[in-house]
Structure 1
Amino acid sequence: MAQKNPSFQEAANGNNNSSSEELSSFLESGIFRLDDGSRVVFVDPVRLLNRSYSRFRVSPSGYYSRSFKSRSKVRSIGEEEEEGIGDDAERRGKKKKRKRKSRELNEREICAEIRHQELRPLLLKAYNSLLTVSNLLSCLPNIVEYEDGYSNSGREEHNFVELGNLCQAPHYEISLCFNKGVIEEAEDSWPVRVGEWTIVPLFDNLIGNETTEDVEAEFLNSKYILPPRSSFYMSDLRRVRDLVPVHSDHGFNLIVIDPPWENGSVYQKAVYPTLPNRYFLYLPVKQLAHTAGALVVLWMTNREKLRLFVEKELFPTWGVTNVTTHYWLKVKPDGSLISELDLFHHRPYESLVVGYVNVKSAEFESTPSFTYMQDNQVFISIPGSHSRKPPLAKLLLDHVPGRKPAKCIELFARELVGGWMSWGNEPLRFQDSRYFIRK
């Protein structure tokens, strides 16, 4: 069992001001609001995910498995610009590399740069608001370096994308153990749980844990953890319409989509298979939405071509309206940005575009059940594995139309969340037991 790290609470008790109270709340919730209007929020994805689990919790060391070079002192963006320091300055001590010849930007790149310069003051203000909260900054290294016994060595993880394309894929089965009771052993050992095993097809099949306990599952000698009231459907894009409910009043109120956007990067293609962007036009978003309306959240890269595609084709095809844009700003454990703010092809932020489907009638309600999201909110966090997005549902629920609790689904999911349905060709990607520790 992992030992508790006292430095978190020590930091929370370090000051007797409002930020100290906010930090204590953050240690429980994973959410730290950096301004009074709640337009800038720092989140710890691990704490947010752990709200889903009963007997297990996500390993911080497993989630934050990326390594970052830290600085001896973190400065505001303004200080860096004045003194000429930053990631470029850090690289000056290294062997000089031959500089590539600069080229002129094309029309789309010019548009992207103009958009970035317009956005820059917002991101500067959000980032500098983080740097003013010293006790939160002092906690960040402990969030990542938590001693929990996580190890990435040993057996290889299964590649569900490859397995799903094999001719024997329809014959693969997963075993789920639904707990029936607990047998206590010696004082220093874990309690032994006895249960009933259920074996079901893994691919092209809706699999759910409708209990209030975590469920352990086994597939090809690997174990997976399923949070309470979660379900998943593992398939490729050809079977996505299997998710459409027979009756639209059984649809979803919150639809989060993290598409594998096509990308020219050879590295990205190697670690995360992509699809042509036009394939996403055929996602049945409107058919998945509840008749009372749905909030649609789309994760997006900073490419101008992609932004135009979403604005001009994708959202109109899906029937998404009332669109606002928000930003995920990525920082290192020392509080510095993961890359220079103005680095053209590697910005330290991504966009999430938010809109609504089937909400025309809600505009005329005397007491609407939700509030529309304000534009340009900024969410700050330390990133996890490649392309793994922070779970922001807790911050979105007040803006979700329809019934409560909301019915939620994530498309192209790579992990499960309690109370949600997850669809994609690898929704168990981060459910491997190696990413968890017992509570």
Structure 2
Amino acid sequence: MSVVHQLSSGWLLDHLAFINNIDYQLCQHHEPTSSNAVPISSPHCGSLTVTSTSSIELSATLMASETATKPGTDEREKNKALLQKYTFRAELFHVTKPHVTTSDCTAFQQENKDGNINHEKPECVKDQDSVSAVRKKGKRSIAFNQGELDAMEYHAKVRGLILDGTTQLIQEGLKSGFLYSVSERLDDGNKTTTVGLDSCGLAELCDIAKQLPLVNENELDIVQLIDADVSVPEKDVFSRITQNSSNFTKMIILMGQKYLLPPKSSFLLSDLSCMQPLLNYGKKYDVIVIDPPWQNKSVKRSKRYNYLSSWQIKQIPVPKLAAPNCLVITWVTNRQKHLQFVKDELYPYWSVETLTEWHWVKITRSGEFVFPLDSPHKKPYEGLVLGRIQGKTVLPLRNPKVKVLPIPDHKLIVSVPCTLHSHKPPLTEVLKDYIMPDAECLELFARNLQPGWTSWGNEVLKFQHIDYFITPQIRN
């Protein structure tokens, strides 16, 4: 369970536990006659291969071979499955200290007021970038633009809710031992783990796919199933849904890189220009979670990923993908322009009625905010706007006799964030009381997969890369 504590204010989540409870196990079946099988060779960057697990794990194959050749081993022992267990790297959730402390920013502001710029506080300089009294050199009087004024007004409205609710959840986490006090914290700072990925970027891969020959949809199955000893043409990954319908994890190779597919998961790797296979899939979804690549100054400067304009986001075919009464959840940054766009333009355009806003609050393992709550720029929380599809439809409601609880107002989701950029906490367990047990769920602009969900995006496999996982055990 990823929900560590649940109170009236919201939930304290263990994001890492959610990932590892997925039970990433590769089922390695083997036959005595194929015990000398070798892994499929990894293609070079520029080509693409998709395979199943069966021929990939050389170590598992060799272990299977040893079992098969032991004297006295019966036929059943020779053919049983060997399980390769994977767990997500725990150090990627090793956030023990705030990124910026209140004292850091107070000192920085005082130095700015005195006309002395402290160049030894780069984090705080970044934190003050949009509203600092000093921009480049010398002094200037503090003057806030309209966006900053709107952000300050919004923060004043939600501050008490976030502080009180988070404090209650943190206290429960400290009592249970999930969180630990500052005095118990090892003073080793935040560990930074760099995972070396030599693959071509998935977004670039989608651009390459546009140059492939067009696929005749009448000659192509809507879904490709990842099963034992299956190899498919590269264009199929972009032109139809890839699905792991088994109870075990599967592995695929893209551009020479290995990715793990959790059980009962489906995905489409494409960008906004190639969403038709998702529509052809034919499913109507009861829950649609959207994490758009919002435009902001930081993204423009860093060029970490491409962003979409407001007009492009409105073109996402949510109404065509949504089942009647579908719950739509959109992640929103703290920029008020984006929040107002979702509530005043995007949702009405999609015929979605806004229900409420929730907040994701990011804390350290000792229960401190990762940024000061009253920081004038970076806040320790992000927003989620929840709404429901409205309007008449010819489609019936799924299981109309099943009753679910109404969506509550202003809930908090409190968790230690992953150090990987934009790795959002899972919503599966916090939503279970508000959606039907057999609900069809879709995540748009996803960067990872979840069991029971369909995921779409041009980086949909990003955090499924095998380098983000370790193999603590191999067992029969």
- Report the TM range for the smaller structure's normalisation: 0.7 to 0.9
Distance 2:441 2:257 in 1: 28
Distance 1:92 1:279 in 2: 39
Of stretches 365-374 and 119-128 in structure 1, the one that deviates more from structure 2 is: 365-374
Distance 2:320 2:356 in 1: 22
Q: Does 1:88 align with 2:130?
A: no
**Structure 2 gap ranges (5+):** 26-84, 120-132, 135-139, 214-223
**Contact 2:293–2:308 (CA under 8 A) maintained in structure 1:** yes
**Contact 1:70–1:334 (CA under 8 A) maintained in structure 2:** no
Q: TM-score, normalised by structure 2?
A: 0.69
Match of 1:405 among 428, 431, 438: 438
Q: TM-score, normalised by structure 1?
A: 0.74
Q: Which residue matches 1:351?
A: 383
Q: Which residue matches 2:421?
A: 386
The CA RMSD over aligned residues, in Å, is 3.6
* CA displacement 1:217-240 (0-9 Å, x = unmatched): 112322110001111111110122
Against the structure 1 CA distance between its residues 418 and 170, is the aligned structure 2 distance closer, same or farther, given a 3 Å change threshold? farther
- SS at 1:197's partner residue? coil
Against the structure 1 CA distance between its residues 325 and 263, is the aligned structure 2 distance closer, same or farther, given a 3 Å change threshold? same
Q: Which residue matches 1:211?
A: 246
Q: Does 1:97 align with 2:118?
A: yes
Against the structure 1 CA distance between its residues 342 and 296, is the aligned structure 2 distance closer, same or farther, given a 3 Å change threshold? same
**Contact 2:19–2:88 (CA under 8 A) maintained in structure 1:** no
Against the structure 1 CA distance between its residues 267 and 142, is the aligned structure 2 distance closer, same or farther, given a 3 Å change threshold? farther
Against the structure 1 CA distance between its residues 360 and 118, is the aligned structure 2 distance closer, same or farther, given a 3 Å change threshold? farther
Against the structure 1 CA distance between its residues 223 and 366, is the aligned structure 2 distance closer, same or farther, given a 3 Å change threshold? closer
Deviation at 1:358, TM superposition (A): 4.4
Q: Does 1:49 align with 2:19?
A: yes
Against the structure 1 CA distance between its residues 120 and 235, is the aligned structure 2 distance closer, same or farther, given a 3 Å change threshold? same
Against the structure 1 CA distance between its residues 382 and 141, is the aligned structure 2 distance closer, same or farther, given a 3 Å change threshold? farther
**Contact 1:170–1:203 (CA under 8 A) maintained in structure 2:** no
Distance 2:167 2:362 in 1: 13
Against the structure 1 CA distance between its residues 309 and 197, is the aligned structure 2 distance closer, same or farther, given a 3 Å change threshold? same
Match of 1:237 among 258, 272, 279: 272
Which structure is larger by alpha-carbon Rg, 1 or 2? 2
Against the structure 1 CA distance between its residues 62 and 422, is the aligned structure 2 distance closer, same or farther, given a 3 Å change threshold? farther
Match of 1:126 among 158, 165, 173: 165
Distance 2:463 2:183 in 1: 22
- SS at 2:323's partner residue? coil
Distance 1:218 1:112 in 2: 44
Distance 1:318 1:326 in 2: 20
Deviation at 1:346, TM superposition (A): 0.5
State the number of aligned residues.
369
Residues 33-182 of structure 1: pairs in structure 2 closer than 5 A: 33-35=5-7, 37=8, 39-55=9-25, 56-61=85-90, 63-64=92-93, 68=97, 86-88=103-105, 97=118, 100=134, 101-133=140-172, 134=174, 135-138=177-180, 152=194, 154-166=196-208, 170=212, 178=227
Distance 1:431 1:255 in 2: 21
- SS at 1:137's partner residue? coil
Q: Which residue matches 1:337?
A: 369
Distance 2:264 2:447 in 1: 17
Q: Does 1:326 align with 2:358?
A: yes
Deviation at 1:396, TM superposition (A): 0.7
Deviation at 1:88, TM superposition (A): 2.6
Letter in 1 for 2:2: G
Deviation at 1:60, TM superposition (A): 3.5
* CA displacement 1:103-150 (0-9 Å, x = unmatched): 3222332222111101110011022213423223229999999xxxx9
Q: Which residue matches 1:374?
A: 408
Against the structure 1 CA distance between its residues 349 and 144, is the aligned structure 2 distance closer, same or farther, given a 3 Å change threshold? farther
Q: Does 1:264 align with 2:264?
A: no
**Contact 1:301–1:350 (CA under 8 A) maintained in structure 2:** yes
Deviation at 1:151, TM superposition (A): 6.8
**Contact 2:11–2:430 (CA under 8 A) maintained in structure 1:** no
